Amino acid sequence: MTYAMYRTGAALVVAAALLLPSAISVGAQEDHGITGFAAAHVQAEQEREQKLRSIPDAAHAESNLRRITSEPHLAGTEASHRLAEWLRDQYRSYGFDAEIVSYSVWLPQAREVRLELTAPKPVVLGTPEQPYPIDQDTYNKNAVMAFNAYSPSADVTAPVIYVNYGTQEDYRDLEAMGISVAGKIAIARYGRCYRGIKTKLAEEHKAVGLMLFSDPQDDGYFQGDMFPRGPWRPMSGIQRGSVQYTEIYPGDPLTPGVAATPDAKRLDPADAKSLPHIPTMPINAEDAAVILTDLDGPHVPRGWQGALPFTYHVGPGGAVAHMKLVMDYQQRPIYDVIAKLRGTDDGEWVVLGNHHDAWVYGAVDPGSGTATMLETARALGELARTGWKPRRTMVMCEWDGEEPGLIGSTEWVEANRAELQAKAVVYINTDVGVAGPNFTASATPSLDDVIRDAARSVPGPNGTGSVYEAWLAHAKRGEKQLSGIARTQATLENPGEAPVDALGAGSDFCPFLDYAGIPSIDTGFVGDYGVYHSLYDDFFWMKSFGDPTFQYHATLAKVLGTMALRLDEADVLPFDYAAYAATISRLTNDLVSRASQLGIQGASLQSISDASGHLTASATRASDALQHMDFASFDAAKQNQINHELASVEQALLAPGGLVGRPWYKHTIYAPGSYAGYAAEVLPGVNEALDRDDAAVFQKEGASLAAALLRASARLDEITKLVESK
């Protein structure tokens, strides 16, 4: 018998007569079947999914979040340890084998943060976040003071210069104005790029310090009602966050590429390339207004004016600031929770993850994801109690230390890279699980349709249509998504489909995809979320604004559970490498066009084009072979071999030596941009070499990219041979 497996464009490539009637479509939408399943196995999978989707419950999710947000739980503290122990026990109660895995990492805590103006008149600043009687959690004395993780200690006094968002373009504008930040303290608003990039650029331009604030135009009253009346950041709200240079490498700064075990060989902190050298301090809009009001110098360029009620000036002149930071750097323990629901085949893993540490309470980031993961695990455990056993082992992970720099996930991946590359078929991440009503997803292009099909199968929380229908309708309205990640080029091949973003960085999928080459997904619901990394991201905010009924939490658990089940139970793993190859083909065509416009020609470009053509041909042959595969003629060992090869294609796209200048990042197709941080850079080695006009690096990265594409082609050709052999 033949099997329903792969897609060309948006259409399922399968003879309709071979499919059983589908129960997974919602409403009147088209029946898309279940990719990767034999026709004889579809009904059982449908019944299993329907049972799973009946289990996640809003009341359970609400109870989970109330416990998760019961106290501040910064990474490296005993409160984070207490939460990890509770999570371990919850997973055990659901039937998982769960343990805590600890690492010892170089982690700072703030002991003193002081800010004042010394001119034009002395003013004490550093205003704390305002508590509100309606939300008693805002009075908690254990809430961590506002600081930027991995800022060094410092005591500096200097004139202030406003640098807008602190991007490369902004510094070019300053240079055009004849203004230098050398020897000055820069003040930048949050937005446009990762805060660590703002610190890096300020350091490169020889500033002696950096202050970061949330302008109400981007994150406050300009957007809507402020907390506690509405969901947006109040004037006293402060965005904490790490300024570690994770675009060079994430994780423990002293152990790049190896796990931070007690006996690991460690760098001297002075030699750690991911550590900044100038102090960075987050402040609120109230303090920023005092500083910016006193700035002299020219009126800001067009587009630099924010929403504070006065005319912004660049400086220098007027405002002189004194910053004092006392940071306590120590080796501190972090606590990952690793829970396994053993499968019939422990040689293949479906891995899901979310982090549990938070800057304060973290109701949205990451508590909503944690509460949802628990509901997903409870649903899987309930299925197991009825006699079902996973085909593949389910591994559910709760990471610690994500906020300082993706530490818990990175250390675990570095410790287990060989086993993950041998066993993991996918990594599914959720972080900001629920911040509003709008579904969003990012993935490697081979998994785009896995997400779309799961979303088609899950009813929307409002009782009408499916998650997919609401997702597509929202995308068509063109409303701004808050994912912060650029649209993947693959979307252009399916313009009628809901958009799936490209994976950049900023969450725990990064070490899985960029370092280990594990196909990855990141997903959640977004919305008007203005209290990111602040005291106000607490249970009250979620209950008042984010998801008052917790129906979106329950719905996300159903989406995660559906994706996990399909990837766990599939007869053939549903990777769409034809779609991935089409994306790469267009990316390489764009690269050739861009290089030609810059006057670059040569063998390197031709080798990239040729390798991309080979990949497209190999993916087409493999897709065709899989579509016509008769699994009845294959024994279990051959099936497992085919699935192993399918899961390993992503690893072929890794460059063994990594990207030039940042060898920890090994993926040749996607990486966080060196001056974007969170956003994805496509074909990062060659495109960033073009950005720098570096011909030598372009040639080296071009050869590395072409070799990776040919390795992936060879892996796909091996799949074709396996399928066609009898």
Residue 381: which CATH number? 3.40.630.10
- For residue range 100-129, list pLDDT tens digits in order: 999 999 999 999 999 999 999 999 999 999
Q: What is the pLDDT of residue 30?
A: 38
295-301 LR contacts (CB < 8 Å, sep 24+)? 295/160, 295/161, 295/162, 295/319, 297/161, 297/179, 298/177, 298/179, 300/162, 300/164, 301/164, 301/173, 301/177
Q: How confident is the model at residue 622 (pLDDT cuts 50, 70, 90)?
A: very high
Instruction: Answer yes or no: is 63 within a domain.
Output: yes
Residue 220: the pLDDT is: 97
Whether the predicted pLDDT of 10 surpasses 50: no
The whole-number pLDDT of residue 494 equals 62
Q: For 416-449, how does the pLDDT look when each residue is reduced to its tens digit (9 = 90+)?
A: 999 999 999 999 999 999 999 999 999 999 999 9
Does the pLDDT value for residue 487 go beyond 50? Answer: no
Q: What is the rounded CA–CA span in Å between residue 549 and residue 461?
A: 10
Is the CB of residue 716 less than 8 Å from the CB of residue 622? yes
Q: Which residue has the tokens 């990394």?
A: 533
> Which domain does 703 fall in, by range?
577-724
Is 517 within the bounds of a domain?
yes
CA–CA dist 418, 424 (Å, integer): 10
pLDDT at residue 274 greater than cutoff 80: yes
Count structural domains, the chain.
3
Q: Report the pLDDT averaged over residues 547-562.
A: 98
**CA separation for the pair 129, 238 (Å, rounded):** 7
The answer as to whether 10 is a domain residue is no
**Looking at the structure, do residues 621 and 643 belong to the same domain, yes or no?**
yes
- Confidence band of 375 (pLDDT split at 50, 70, 90): very high
Decide if pLDDT at 259 tops 70. Answer: yes
- When the pLDDT of each residue in the chain is averaged and rounded to a whole number, the result is 92
Considering the domain architecture, whether residues 354 and 451 belong to the same structural domain is answered as: yes
Q: Does residue 7 lie within any of the structural domains? A: no
Pick from 306, 331, 356: which residue ends a domain?
331
pLDDT of res. 355: 98
Catalytic residue among 402, 650, 681, 701: 402
Closest CA to 191 of 546, 676, 671: 676
Question: In the predicted model, what is the mean pLDDT of residues 218-224?
Answer: 97
Q: Is the pLDDT of residue 496 over 90?
A: no
Q: How many residues does the chain have?
A: 726
Confidence label for 33 from pLDDT (cuts 50, 70 and 90): low
Q: Return the closest-CA partner of residue 294 out of 322, 319, 316.
A: 319
User: Is 419 in the same domain as 556?
Assistant: yes
Residue 514 and residue 610 share a domain? no
Q: Is the pLDDT of residue 19 over 60?
A: no
What is the C-alpha separation between 569 and 51, in angstroms, rounded? 15
Nearest residue to 153 via CA among 328, 271, 330: 328
pLDDT at 182 over 60: yes
Same domain, 554 and 642: no
**Would residue 28 count as lying in a domain?**
no
Least confident stretch, 165-179, 243-257, 312-326, 632-646: 632-646
Distance CA 434, CA 514 (A): 25
Q: Identify whether 282 is preceded by a cis peptide bond (ω within 30 of 0).
A: no
**Same domain? 518 vs 595:** no
Q: What is the DSSP string of 616-635?
A: HHHHHHHHHHHHT-BGGGS-
pLDDT at 606 over 60: yes
Mean pLDDT of 450-470: 95
**What 3-state DSSP class applies to 334?**
strand
Percentage of the chain modeled with pLDDT above 90: 86
Q: Are residues 665 and 685 in the same domain?
A: yes
Residue-level pLDDT at 629: 83
Residue 677 lies in a domain: yes
631: CATH: 1.20.930.40
Phi-psi region of 661 (alpha: psi -120 to 50; beta: other; left: phi over 0): left
- Listed range (287-301, 504-518, 674-688) with the worst mean pLDDT: 674-688
Q: Dihedral of CA 534/539/545/550: which sign? A: positive
HEC string of 67-84 equals HHCCCCCCCCCHHHHHHH
- Specify the pLDDT at position 38: 86
Vertex 662, ends 661 and 665: CA angle to 5°?
Answer: 145
Looking at the domain assignment, is residue 2 inside a domain? no
Together in a domain, 197 and 342: no
Per-residue pLDDT band for 527 (boundaries 50, 70, 90) equals very high
Say whether pLDDT at 535 is over 60.
Answer: yes
Do 498 and 589 share a domain, yes or no?
no
Residue 193 domain-assigned (yes or no) = yes
3-state secondary structure of 191: strand
**What is the pLDDT at residue 599?**
81
Backbone angles phi, psi at 506, to 5 degrees: 95, -5
What does the pLDDT read at residue 673?
93
Domain end call among 300, 331, 362: 331
pLDDT at 9 over 70: no
Tokens (6 digits) for 93:
């109660």
Residue 402 known to be catalytic: yes
444 plus 400 within the same structural domain: yes
- Classified as helix, coil or strand, 102 is strand
| pLDDT for 396 beyond 70 | yes
Which CATH number covers residue 216? 3.50.30.30
Question: Under the phi-then-psi rule, with left for phi > 0, alpha for psi from -120 to 50, and beta for the rest, what region is 164?
Answer: left
Q: Has residue 131 got a pLDDT over 70?
A: yes
Least confident of 579-583, 640-644, 676-680: 676-680
Give pLDDT, residue 418: 98
Query: Do 59 and 169 share a domain, yes or no?
Result: no
Same domain, 583 and 643: yes
Cα separation, 660 vs 259, in Å, equals 22
Q: Which helix (H) or strand (E) holds 565?
A: helix 551-569
Q: Which of 331, 360, 385 is the last residue of a domain?
A: 331
pLDDT at 668 over 50: yes
- Range of lowest pLDDT (40-54, 148-162, 467-481): 467-481
- Helix pair angle (78-93, 58-68), 10° resolution: 150
